Amino acid sequence: MRINLITLFPEYFDSPLSCGLMQKAREGGLVDFQLFNPRDAATDKHRTVDDSPYGGGPGMVMALAPLVDTLRKIPKPGRILLMAPAGRPFAQALARNLAADMVAGTPLTLISGRYEGIDARLLELFPITPVSVGDYVLNGGEAACLNVIESVCRLLPGFMGHENSGEEESFSHSLLEYPHYTRPENFAGHIVPEALTAGNHARIAAWRRQESLRITLWRRPELLDAAPLNATDLACLQNLPRLSLGRNLHLALVHYPVLDKDKNSLAVSLTNLDIHDIARSSCCYGLGGYYVVTPLQDQQRLLAELLAHWTTGAGSRSNPDRTEALRLVIAANDVAEVIAQVEARCGERPLVLGSSARPEGALTYRDVREALTKRPVLLLLGTGHGLAPTVLEKCDGVLRPLRGASGYNHFSVRSAAAVMLDRILGDWH
């Protein structure tokens, strides 16, 4: 199986392709590498391969002609990948796909850029996929190329000693791999987990699966989106510490002081749907509390009646699930009272964050998640046309507005709450 490498520094590959399993694979004839230097295709006496960029700016750009001539010289380039920080993220799924193509007889051609990159028209002339190996910038594509080479080659049948080692590894089922241990069992008081040393294979398998889930949830939660999970996996995820992150979050739906459409500050009435739906979302994400804030006595009586119906009255008998959600609801006169209540419950003053559909805030959902690992957070949601400036001014920070793909961002407060909760606490954040 053939891999073509286009690089201005062929010597860069000498050592990595000449040791360990890669050397064995080359010696055994499983994979072979052909190196092409675009400098060999340069026509002037200085063997120039770069030029200054159109539009100005620092650095040089790899010129088209030497790259085009080099690519045309390769009899069968097969799949062509360009190493580029702006490319599609290189991942195990693509490695698997490229390895399968190689097994089916399609070679792989990898282009390493240098300088500021290559003349973009190369992508118009050849079917090239730009790939990035991470959100950082390297001096050149050679180090990136080695990532691609190693990840693809170790999936070629015969490359690794035992055929199924690739199956168990990180990313093979959209999960990160469980931790490994070897002798001694006790190293200066650091003990190997008992589940691995008791000799019970079913227990070992269960422990490894749980660790995979735990590590994936902790470090790369977005991977869980594509992971095939069974009921046991889901039960395990539900018991992991993510929920305690939710318990640190408290929502307050503020009905005064909020704005009307003319930007006057006023009190608005409660909405049954907001009370129910935000309570249900809060319950789904395991929140510490959901406060409904209104100073109006008649509105407080209405809220008490509604909550009584669902938590102790007829509603609780007909729909106990709703009871569970509505038990989270706490009435409060104003934001100061909410802050005091959260402080009393958590033993610490919460970080108070506002939200607004207007571009007033800079905090990201990741910032909120980060804050939740350290202290309680109270997130204020405004009814009417949003929280009054007098409330926002007193907040410790304001969240960025939610943005859809269009210019329209008039979410109902209950929809906004659900989207925010998922961005802050969902697997995919």
Ligand X SMILES: C[S@@+](CC[C@H](N)C(=O)[O-])C[C@H]1O[C@@H](n2cnc3c(N)ncnc32)[C@H](O)[C@@H]1O
110 binds ligand X (CB under 6 A): no
116 binds ligand X (CB under 6 A): yes
Are the C-beta atoms of 311 and 326 separated by less than 8 Å?
yes
Site for ligand X, residues 142 to 171, rule: CB under 6 A: 144
Of 19, 104, 137, 231, the residue at the interface with ligand X (CB under 6 A) is: 137
CA 351/CA 349 separation, integer angstroms: 7
Q: CB-wise, 139 or 164, nearer to ligand X?
A: 139
Tokens (6 digits) for 105: 């007889």
Tokens (6 digits) for 305: 């009646």
Site for ligand X, residues 76 to 95, rule: CB under 6 A: 83-86
Q: CB-wise, 135 or 262, nearer to ligand X?
A: 135
Q: Which stretch binds ligand X (CB under 6 A): 137-145, 179-187, 317-325, 372-380?
A: 137-145
Of 138, 195, 227, 266, the residue at the interface with ligand X (CB under 6 A) is: 138
- Report helix, strand or coil for 183: coil
Pick from 421, 158, 134: nearest CA to 282: 421
Tokens (6 digits) for 266: 């006023």
Q: Which stretch binds ligand X (CB under 6 A): 109-117, 154-162, 174-182, 221-229?
A: 109-117
Q: CB-wise, 137 or 344, nearer to ligand X?
A: 137
Q: Name the residue with tokens 């190329």.
A: 145
Q: CB-wise, 140 or 315, nearer to ligand X?
A: 140
Q: What angle do CA 99, 40, 19 make, to 5 degrees?
A: 40
CA 258/CA 268 separation, integer angstroms: 8
CA 35/CA 110 separation, integer angstroms: 10
Of 140, 315, 397, 401, the residue at the interface with ligand X (CB under 6 A) is: 140
Site string for ligand X, 41-80 (x = CB under 6 A): ----------------------------------------
13 binds ligand X (CB under 6 A): no
Residue 373 CB partners (closer than 8 Å, separation 6+): 245
Residue 315 CB partners (closer than 8 Å, separation 6+): 309, 322, 323
Ranked by CB distance to ligand X, the top (closest) residue is 113
CA 383/CA 389 separation, integer angstroms: 13
112 binds ligand X (CB under 6 A): yes
Q: CB-wise, 117 or 288, nearer to ligand X?
A: 117
- Interacting residues toward ligand X by CB under 6 A: 83-86, 112-114, 116-117, 132-134, 136-141, 144
